[in-house]
Every structure is written in structure tokens, then in C-alpha cells.
């Protein structure tokens, strides 16, 4: 199905099933332990062995020698895989570093060996017997130290620099100006389920049960790395225990499990232990950001400049922290730049809302700061600088933009009019403040396919390689099929996460739900046509409702179309260039109230609200869950999350959940979410967009701005820990 003109009226608009707050259909499997995660496939193969990954003990240099003999003689050991005996390996297009290092080492904890044994304990014990001698090289581990050596990044989908008008002149002549620098730290995905895989060979065919967000991408990357044909690779990933972008690409667990299984001639399980999640896999890279804003005294922005520096391994890409600034606020004269430094730290790559998350952590503090300088309410300042067109390309309007309505409804619901001057509200030992920030994330789409089967019992099975990373994909796909075919949701079976199924968008980038359901819609519409034709009904006028197909005064059970067999159809949604004609974006207004302990500087978030405009909401219950999860992640980004870099040895020191501090239940107050009524016909036949990343974008800045309102202390370096606040608090008698 081609989608190259705005959607008209279609079966989804009935919203008998789509748009309803239904419970997750996969919920019973998850609470009864019958949902199989990557390390839990105990019944698909006999006598699976266990692999333990050894990570490099240096960040830069070479392996001078590696002695595996003692490990090979250890009890239960079946094989030890290294770059010396693994055979020729390629490199995936989406990996910056090799997934099996040696002799050259590109970063700390790069995988250099896998020990395979009958039990996990035997593999781990034997791994301690491997002796590695390194020749250490000189590495670059500090973004601040390498800032002046950063260069304009080449390639990629996002231009490094943009210029509109004359920023320098407009900024110089502005009546009120802001020129500040902000920093965001390296952050870890810290998902609940580690990267894990079970691999088995059947002759020259490889099956990997794994934890991966993008099955079609992963299948291609495995084939490319191992040097085998893609049709010899099958990836299976029906349930994923969190990913946040860290599982978009194949990681070392999958490749090493495959190599280990070949060497041991048995199926092999590999899970990356927690320190390897921080140092072996990807992370959100740190940024340095300079923001300059010029405005007239009436509060209108005349000059907007945003520059960002980030680092990655050689051959990597930048954190695109300026991209939201190019679209979010009006202003005739504009400038944005990104610069990339080469660092020998573990690979920087996509983490939930890459670009906008760190970019808005800086931008939305800067917007508050310029509003303060103007003496304007920060909500009203944002409203005054709204734009309905792309500021860099005014001929390109937004398909829908209810940003102002998000701000106004949010301010009213949150009680924003009760906000007082900075540092003026106190309850006992707590200084109280409110903060606001914009939320923004584009709504990309991607070709997505599905296969639909109708059987003689009237049941429909949907098959697509779309994944469920805790987001509710099973349920919204079932809702889509039920709505399109006029069936109750209980008549829909959904099978996901298998590369034998048609390729979908996968989970990531806030494109998954909209694209994947649109692909299912396309397949179901094709099934409608086949069914109506078989029943000798007019496909153009046939109505599908209550398990029946009706047209021209004739009504037939949907099950009768299949008879004793099945009707199987397959189709995909293919998107045209509507996203080039208009800007497809999602918007939110995030509000936070905090208390700051006047004695210690400790911050506690007291309440939060997000009001979002994100297209048609396919399942409000699940969408709310996505939003509050992202808001919780925003609390961590604001107050605690930071990978501490050892700039001498080149690794992340706090590489476990004891040292990398994510929010816990006690840190999270009541969170409210409001969705504005919206259906975007330019987006897809579903008229949806996505919320998975929008709920995070801007939240840390709302908390930072609330801390400033509570205390009068402005912190521009995340996370906002107590030692950064306490020096500016009032003296205690």
C-alpha cells in the first residue's frame, strides 16, 4: 500500500477498538513467566552451553599476547574463541567498533574472547584463567580536552551546520541577550534485561534467539559480520526487557554466541554482565553546548544560535543535540553547528530520543534564562515565540502543531498561576519551586510489512517482525487488525519478533507504533479485498463488523470466507514524501514541582505533569505508561545519571546499578499525563505519531528550572547533584 496522499476517512476512524484503553494482551504471559526473553529459551534446543565474555582491560592499544591454554584445560570448557581462531570477520554497518577485538583494541571492555563451558559457573571460572598481555596506547578520553580538536562531522542524515539570515549581526543588535554554556554527561541505557543471545547452527543455517529492537537490521548485520548469506540467518526476539536504543544494533552477545556455538558444536547462551552494558555496548555521549539567544524587549526572539560538541570513536557520529533548536521556536536569524571530537571511549550511539534529550536539557534552560532576563513568565515567552512553519524553511508548515495548547492546558491544570518569585516559597526545611519545559520530537515513519492469516474459525493471526520492548506492540497491533476487520480483539493472535516474518519498522526512533500498525492496516485492507471478492461482494462497499462482511443487502460470516482452509495475504505500507512537504512532529509541555532541602541541597521531585499532542493515541493506557516511564527517565537525567569517566584509563567507572544511579520508586511522585485530541492525516492511515521519546524530551530541564525557581540557583551542568546547589542556598543561622 502506498501512502503518498493524506489519509481520508478509513476503517480506523471508527475507533471501536483502536483508541481504547485496553489491557495488554501479552500481560498474562509476562506475569506467569511464559513470555520468553532471550536467555530463557530452555525448550528450543538440547544441552545449551554457556559463554562468558572477556572484555579488554585497556582502552587503547594492542594485545601483545593472549594465553588461553589454562582456560581450555579447565573443567567443563568446550571452546575458547578469540580473534585468532574465529576466522575472518566483517564489520556491521551500524557498529563503530569491531564486536570481537584483537589484536587492536579500540575501547575498554571491547570483547576479546568468549569462554564456552557446560555451565555458566565453569565458563566464568575458566575466563579468569585467560592471561592477556597488552601494549597500552595513548588514548583521548576527555571531551573538554579534545573540544578544540573537534571537526565538522561528515555524512549522516542531519546537516552539521545551518544558517538562516545574519545571526551575528542580529545577536549583536538584540536588546536582550543570553550567552551560556551547558553540559550533559555520558549516560547508560541501564535497561532491566541485559544484552543476551542463544545461538544454534543447523548445518550452515544459524538461528539466534536474542534481545534486539530491529530484527531486519540485526539479521543483515549478523550476516555481514559472519560473512554468510542473509537467508542463512534467523533472528527471534518476541519479548525484550527494555532497550532504549541500546538494542537497535547487533551487539557482541549475538556474534559471540554464534561463534561459540560453531566452535563448541552446541547451542550457546551468552549474556553480557552488567559492567559490559556500560563499557562494551553503546551509551549516550556527553555534550558541551553553547546557546546564544537575542530578543527584543517585547519578548520576541530575533537571533537563535546553538552549537554542540560531542565525541565518539573514530568513524562514529555526533550527538545531534541542535536538531530541535532548528524547529522549535521562531526567530528570523538563526545558526546551528555540530562538532565531533575523536574519543577512545566506548561507542556513543542512539539512546532514547538521541539529540533532543541532551539538546533540550540545554535549550530549555536557556529559554527560561532569557525569559527571566526579559522579566517574562516562561510559559508566555514560549507561547509568544511559537511558529507554525519550519523556521529554516518557512514554506514548509507543520502538519499539526498544538504546542501552545499543550502549554496553556498544562499551566491551568498544574496551577502555574500560583508560582512565586525565585527562592520565595518555603515549607519547613524545603524550598519549593515550579518549572516548565517544552517537549519536542519529530515523528518519522518507515516502510513496514505484515502477514495476515484468516482461518475457518474466524480467527486472524498477524505476523510481523515488529518487536515489543515493553511498549505494548502486541496490543496495538491486535487493536489495528480487530478494528480493520470488524472483529473483537480476542479473535486476533499476534506473533512478533521473528525474521521469518515480513520486515517492519522495528522499535526505535518513535517510529515503531505508527509505522508497524500502518503496515498491519495495509495487510488487513488487502485481506478485506480478497475476502469480499471470494464472497462475491463489492470490495469497495463491503463493511466488516461484528465478525461479518456485508454489502448489497448480503451478509456473510467472515469465517465462511476461509472455509476449511486459510486465506493468507501479505502487504506493507510504503511512505511517500509527505514528511518532506510538511514537518511531522510531536509536542508536549512538561511541568515539575520540586522541593530542595535548605540544609543539604538535596532535591526531591514532588509532582509532574505532561500534556502531549502526538497524533491519534492508539491505546491511551499504554501511551500513558510510555509517557510516565519517560518522565521517570527524565528525573534520572536531571538529578543522578552520569557515567563517570576515568580520564586516565579511559573507562566508565560506575559500570553497574550500584554506582550508576537510576530513579527508584521512592524518587517518583504522582505523575499526570494529558493527551490532546489529535489525528494527523499526513502521518499515516493510522493518523498516529508516537510518544515513546516525546515523554523524555524536555523533562530534565523542567526539573532544572524548578530547582532554580525554588532556590534562585542556576545549574547548567547535569546531573544537578546537591553539591552544585548547596553553595548558593541561603545561610542557615
* pLDDT tens track for 20-36: 999 999 999 999 999 99
pLDDT level of residue 157 (50, 70, 90 thresholds) = confident
Residue 581, helix vs strand vs coil: helix
| Average pLDDT over every residue of 242-251 | 97
Q: Which pLDDT score, from 0 to 100, does residue 62 have?
A: 98
Strands (E), 76-193: 77-82, 104-105, 111-117, 131-136, 161-164, 176-184
Which residue matches cell numbers 492508539? 618
Q: Is the CATH code 3.30.43.10 the one for domain 398-442+584-733?
A: no
pLDDT range class, residue 156, cuts 50, 70, 90 = confident
Range 4-12 average pLDDT:
98
Edge to edge, the sheet with strand 554-557 lists 543-545, 548-551, 554-557
Cα 56 to Cα 386, 471, 592: the distances in Å are 50, 34, 42
Alpha helices for 272-402 (secondary structure H) = 274-279, 356-374, 378-384
Contact 435, 704 (CB under 8 A): yes
**pLDDT single digits (tens) 128-145:** 999 999 999 999 999 999
Predicted TM-score (pTM) of this structure: 0.98
pLDDT of residue 609: 98
Asked if 726 and 601 touch (Cβ cutoff 8 Å), the reply is yes
Q: What is the mean pLDDT of the chain?
A: 97
**C-alpha cell read off for 120:** 555458566
CB contact set of 351 (below 8 Å; sequence gap of 6+) = 187, 189, 244, 245, 246, 282, 283, 284, 357
Residue 730 pLDDT:
85
pLDDT, residue 731, reads: 83
Q: Which residues contact 186 (CB under 8 A, 6 or more apart)?
A: 283, 284, 285, 286, 345, 348, 642, 643, 645, 652
Tell me the pLDDT tens digit for each residue of 404-431: 999 999 999 999 999 999 999 999 999 9
Domains 2-16+445-580 and 398-442+584-733 are alike in CATH topology = yes
β-pair type (233-236, 205-210): parallel
CA–CA separation, 577 and 541 (whole Å)? 29
Separation CA 405–CA 664 (nearest Å): 32
**pLDDT at position 733 over 80:** no
User: Mean pLDDT, to the nearest integer, of 363-387?
Assistant: 98
pLDDT of residue 732: 72
User: Euclidean distance between the first and final Cα of the chain, in Å?
Assistant: 72
User: What's the fold here for domain 2-16+445-580?
Assistant: Aldehyde Oxidoreductase; domain 4 (3.30.365)
Let me know if 693 is a catalytic residue: yes
What pLDDT score does 21 carry? 98
> What's the average model confidence in pLDDT over 357-362?
98
CA 633 to CA 612: how far, in whole Å? 17
Return d(Cα 479, Cα 469) in angstroms, integer. Answer: 18
Answer yes or no: is pLDDT of 561 > 70.
Answer: yes
Residue owning grid cell 470488524? 486
Q: What is the pLDDT of residues 478-525, one digit of tens each?
A: 999 999 999 999 999 999 999 999 999 999 999 999 999 999 999 999
Write down the residue that cell numbers 546557546 correspond to.
291
Domain segments of the chain as ranges: 2-16+445-580, 398-442+584-733
In this prediction, residue 155 has a pLDDT band, given cuts at 50, 70 and 90, of confident
pLDDT at 355: 97
Catalytic residue (choose from 356, 483, 593, 693): 693
Amino acid at each position: 500500500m502506498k501512502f503518498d496522499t493524506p489519509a481520508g476517512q478509513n476503517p480506523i476512524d471508527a475507533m471501536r477498538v483502536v483508541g481504547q484503553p485496553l489491557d495488554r494482551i501479552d500481560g498474562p504471559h509476562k506475569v506467569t513467566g511464559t513470555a520468553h526473553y532471550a536467555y530463557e529459551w530452555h525448550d528450543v534446543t538440547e544441552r545449551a552451553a554457556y559463554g562468558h565474555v572477556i572484555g579488554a582491560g585497556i582502552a587503547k592499544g594492542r594485545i601483545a599476547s593472549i594465553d588461553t591454554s589454562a582456560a581450555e584445560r579447565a573443567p567443563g570448557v568446550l571452546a575458547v574463541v578469540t580473534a585468532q581462531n574465529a576466522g575472518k570477520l566483517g564489520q556491521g554497518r551500524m557498529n563503530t567498533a569491531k564486536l570481537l577485538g584483537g589484536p587492536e583494541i579500540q575501547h575498554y571492555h571491547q570483547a576479546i574472547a568468549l569462554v564456552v563451558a557446560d555451565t555458566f559457573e565453569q565458563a566464568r571460572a575458566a575466563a579468569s584463567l585467560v592471561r592477556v598481555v597488552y601494549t597500552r596506547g595513548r588514548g583521548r578520553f576527555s571531551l573538554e580536552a579534545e573540544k578544540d580538536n573537534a571537526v565538522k562531522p561528515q555524512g549522516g542524515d542531519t546537516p552539521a551546520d545551518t544558517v538562516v539570515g545574519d545571526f551575528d549581526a542580529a545577536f549583536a543588535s538584540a536588546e536582550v541577550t543570553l550567552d551560556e554554556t551547558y553540559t550533559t554527561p555520558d549516560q547508560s541505557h541501564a535497561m532491566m534485561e541485559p544484552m543476551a543471545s542463544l545461538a544454534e547452527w543447523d548445518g550452515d543455517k544459524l538461528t539466534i534467539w536474542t534481545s534486539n529492537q530491529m530484527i531486519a537490521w540485526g539479521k543483515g548485520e549478523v550476516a555481514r559480520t559472519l560473512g554468510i548469506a542473509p537467508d542463512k540467518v534467523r533472528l527471534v526476539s518476541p519479548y525484550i526487557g527494555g532497550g532504549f536504543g541500546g538494542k537497535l544494533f547487533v551487539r557482541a552477545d549475538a556474534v559471540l554466541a554464534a561463534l561459540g556455538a560453531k566452535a563448541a558444536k552446541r547451542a550457546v547462551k551468552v549474556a553480557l554482565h552488567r559492567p559490559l552494558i556500560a563499557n562494551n555496548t553503546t551509551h549516550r555521549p556527553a555534550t558541551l553546548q553553547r546557546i546564544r539567544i537575542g530578543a527584543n524587549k517585547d519578548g520576541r526572539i530575533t537571533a537563535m544560535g546553538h552549537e554542540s560538541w560531542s565525541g565518539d570513536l573514530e568513524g562514529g557520529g555526533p550527538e545531534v543535540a541542535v536538531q530541535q533548536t532548528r524547529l522549535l521556536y521562531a526567530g528570523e536569524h538563526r545558526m546551528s553547528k555540530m562538532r565531533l571530537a575523536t574519543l577512545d571511549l566506548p561507542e556513543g550511539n542512539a539512546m532514547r530520543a538521541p539529540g533532543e534529550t541532551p539538546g533540550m536539557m540545554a535549550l530549555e534552560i536557556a529559554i527560561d534564562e532569557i525569559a527571566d532576563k526579559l522579566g517574562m513568565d516562561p510559559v508566555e515567552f514560549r507561547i509568544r515565540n511559537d511558529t507554525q512553519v519550519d523556521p529554516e524553511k518557512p514554506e514548509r508548515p507543520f502538519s499539526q502543531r498544538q504546542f501552545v495548547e499543550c502549554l496553556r492546558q498544562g499551566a491551568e491544570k498544574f496551577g502555574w498561576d500560583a508560582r512565586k518569585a525565585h527562592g520565595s516559597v518555603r515549607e519547613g526545611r524545603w524550598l519549593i519551586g515550579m518549572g516548565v519545559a517544552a517537549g519536542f520530537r519529530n515523528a518519522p515513519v518507515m516502510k513496514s510489512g505484515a502477514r495476515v492469516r484468516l482461518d475457518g474459525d474466524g480467527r486472524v493471526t498477524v505476523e510481523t517482525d515488529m518487536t515489543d520492548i515493553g511498549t505494548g506492540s502486541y496490543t496495538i497491533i491486535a487493536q489495528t487488525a480487530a478494528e480493520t476487520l470488524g472483529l473483537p480483539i480476542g479473535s486476533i493472535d499476534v506473533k512478533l519478533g521473528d525474521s521469518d516474518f515480513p520486515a517492519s519498522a522495528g522499535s526505535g526512533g518513535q517510529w515503531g507504533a505508527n509505522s508497524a500498525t500502518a503496515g498491519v492496516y495495509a495487510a488487513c485492507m488487502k485481506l478485506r479485498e480478497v475476502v469480499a471478492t471470494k464472497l462475491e461482494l463489492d470490495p469497495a462497499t463491503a463493511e466488516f463488523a461484528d465478525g461479518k462482511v456485508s454489502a448489497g443487502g448480503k451478509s456473510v460470516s467472515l469465517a465462511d470466507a476461509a472455509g476449511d482452509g486459510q486465506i493468507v495475504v501479505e502487504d506493507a505500507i510504503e511512505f511517500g514524501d509527505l514528511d518532506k512537504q510538511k514537518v511531522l512532529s510531536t509536542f508536549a509541555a512538561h511541568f515539575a514541582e520540586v522541593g530542595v532541602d535548605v540544609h543539604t541541597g538535596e532535591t526531591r521531585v514532588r509532582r509532574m505533569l505532561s500534556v502531549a499532542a502526538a497524533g491519534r493515541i492508539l491505546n491511551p493506557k499504554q501511551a500513558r505508561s510510555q509517557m510516565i516511564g519517560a518522565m521517570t527517565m527524565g528525573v534520572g537525567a536531571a538529578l543522578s545519571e552520569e557515567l563517570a569517566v576515568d580520564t586516565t584509563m579511559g573507562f566508565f567507572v560506575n559500570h553497574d546499578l550500584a554506582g550508576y544511579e537510576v530513579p527508584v520508586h521512592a524518587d517518583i511522585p504522582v505523575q499526570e499525563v494529558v493527551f490532546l485530541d489529535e489525528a494527523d492525516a499526513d502521518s499515516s492511515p493510522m493518523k498516529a505519531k508516537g510518544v515513546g521519546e516525546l515523554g523524555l524530551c524536555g523533562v530534565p530541564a523542567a526539573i532544572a528550572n524548578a530547582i532554580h525557581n525554588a532556590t534562585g540557583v542556576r545549574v547548567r551542568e547535569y546531573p544537578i547533584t546537591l553539591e552544585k546547589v548547596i553553595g548558593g542556598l541561603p545561610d542557615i543561622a
